[in-house]
Structure 1
Amino acid sequence: MSNIVDDIKREFAKSENSLIKIILINTAVFLVLLLIKIIFTLSQSAQIYNWLLDQIQLSADRSAFLYKPWTLFTYFFAHEDIFHILFNMLFFYWFGKLVDEYLGAKRVVALYILGGIAGGLVFIVLYNVLPFFQAHLVDSGMLGASAAAFSVAVGASTLLPNYTFNLIFLGPIRIKFIAIFYIILSLAQTIGPNAGGNLAHLGGALIGYIFIKLLQNGTDLGKPIYAVMNGWSNLFRKKPAMQVTYREKQVYRSKSVYSSTTVTGSVETPDQTEIDNILDKISKSGYESLTKEEKQKLFRASQQK
């Protein structure tokens, strides 16, 4: 047990590991809810569990949402069904890995959160506007990361539409066709028993497409989320212990000495020679042979055109 806890701590200690962190958070919430459900069901206090679930699931009822606005965020980190969380996390991991490699970990977080929020808002608005759904307004409640996962999937498909996944029994399929298939499937199921969830899928898909298109034009919708992430990490970052040093003589050096040791955390815009070398590597070995830094440089160069 201690080894599992240590492994989880190591994963959360990594700075560029947002993809796995989101999966671990979803898994932890699922297991906690499952344990609470078992305890209160066996103690014949299921109403307590239902009350707790009501505090984290998103309701389409406007008055309920205004009373519990935090549910717009909590719903896409919670699942009740094991196959629901399994599919969502696999879907999220497959496509999120591409976004992580090409755009960095923080864009994965932005797509996930913005997709979840957009999906929730679409769910609320359409249930209150369309007469078809208004009859089920009071009983409507939504859990699950499907909208957030769809946002990441459509974002990856917009960024790399011709990238292929090797699917069992089907062989290599371009990811744009996978995304289109699930969008059409969700659209067709908006009149089914899980209408609210499928409406949320479409909201997440839309924000994923918009996010990447704006990013390619130089506008990053994720900046507010990055600011919150930086503030949160700085809040829990340990401050170095104060050290007192004594120096007998102050030595001054030219700026050139220090400039050679400057380290930046972001990928610099490459020159034409670097781009040509990257394109030559793609033509010889394929896109998959590029390193994470080369993929990010290629994307940075495309923004300068």
Structure 2
Amino acid sequence: MENLKQHFSRASMLEKIIYINIAVFVLELLISSFTGLYRSQLNFIDQWFALSSSLDAYITKPWSIVSYGFLHAGFFHILFNCFALYIFGRLFTEYFTQKQLLNFYLLGTIFGGLFFLIATNTFPFFLGKSLILVGASAGVYSIMVGIATYIPNYELRIPLVNLYIKLWQLVAFFIVMNLISLSGSNGGGHFAHLGGALFGFLYVSRASNKELNLFENISKWFKRDKSNLKTVYKSDNPTPRRKDTLRKSDNQKKIDEILDKIGKSGYDALTKEEKEFLFKQGNQK
């Protein structure tokens, strides 16, 4: 047990999110097995932590708009979500911080939950139905669309067929599939996916500085404010703190140039030195 705690404490934020999802899923299985002995159709975790389409139920469990993002309906549900989270989460942390990954996951989950509640209480298709929402998909879509908005021309290699596809094309395919499935059996879930995707797109496309703290600057999404950018003051005899600031400014300038190059020509266009520099800077965040 002590080894597990040490491993978890040393894990990256991406790994911690995946571990928590797996741990909760295993706990769900154990509780479902036990409650099944009493013929209970909904286990304790789903009753208290899944997001219900009923506004009355949501008011009594406001935390469920976040907690549902760590629950899953079955093995393949969590397998797909964790796989997608791992693939796009690793790419996300090459350009953003570990803290921002968590913020995107949580806020994407909240946006997805809001879309679910609005849709299921607005459209006639859902009226009279009692639905619950579970799954990390909204958070995953937030991360996926966020990074695709930032580096749309990044190319991913599809295994086996050795085919390369641009990130924006892959994400566009997923978005279209969700749009044409809104009136299907999992329509509420698809609305949640789109809610998470919308958050990822809006934040990355509207944020004036990718280093902004997400929770502190939500109110600034829709207003680009150049005053949020850092200002570096030069001096003939800079203090150690200013020297450090100047060094960070030079590094940021080089990072921006590399990211622009990736956006235009893809990651493979970088030189070995540029890739190593980007990797080192990512590990320092």
Asked whether the two chains share a fold, i.e. TM above 0.5, the reply is: yes
d(CA) in 2 for partners of 1:272, 1:93: 26
d(CA) in 2 for partners of 1:275, 1:166: 24
User: Identity of paired residues, percent?
Assistant: 31
- Closer/same/farther in 2, CA of residues 166 and 287 from structure 1, 3 Å limit: farther
2:183 to 185, 191, 210: 191
Letter in 2 for 1:259: P
2:250 counterpart residue number: 270
1:74 to 50, 67, 90: 67
- Closer/same/farther in 2, CA of residues 287 and 96 from structure 1, 3 Å limit: farther
d(CA) in 2 for partners of 1:93, 1:148: 12
1:118 to 87, 111, 122: 111
1:150 to 141, 150, 154: 141
Answer yes or no: is 1:209 the counterpart of 2:190. no
User: With structure 2 as the length reference, what TM-score do the two structures score?
Assistant: 0.78
Q: Helix, strand or coil for the counterpart of 2:93?
A: helix
Letter in 2 for 1:203: G
- Closer/same/farther in 2, CA of residues 272 and 96 from structure 1, 3 Å limit: closer
1:12 counterpart residue number: 9
Q: 5+ residue gaps in structure 1?
A: 226-255, 298-305
* Aligned residues of 1:19 and 1:108 also touching (Cα < 8 A): yes
Structure 1 runs (4+) deviating above 6 angstroms are: none
Shift of 1:198: 0.5
Aligned-pair Cα RMSD in Å:
3.5
Answer yes or no: is 1:162 the counterpart of 2:153. yes
* Aligned residues of 1:282 and 1:290 also touching (Cα < 8 A): no
* Aligned residues of 2:96 and 2:210 also touching (Cα < 8 A): no
Q: How many residues end up aligned between the 2 structures? A: 258
* Aligned residues of 1:118 and 1:200 also touching (Cα < 8 A): yes
1:26 counterpart residue number: 21
- Closer/same/farther in 2, CA of residues 207 and 282 from structure 1, 3 Å limit: same
Shift of 1:29: 0.2
User: With structure 1 as the length reference, what TM-score do the two structures score?
Assistant: 0.73
Question: Which has the higher Rg, Structure 1 or Structure 2?
Answer: 1
* Aligned residues of 1:211 and 1:220 also touching (Cα < 8 A): no
Shift of 1:9: 2.7
d(CA) in 2 for partners of 1:219, 1:123: 30
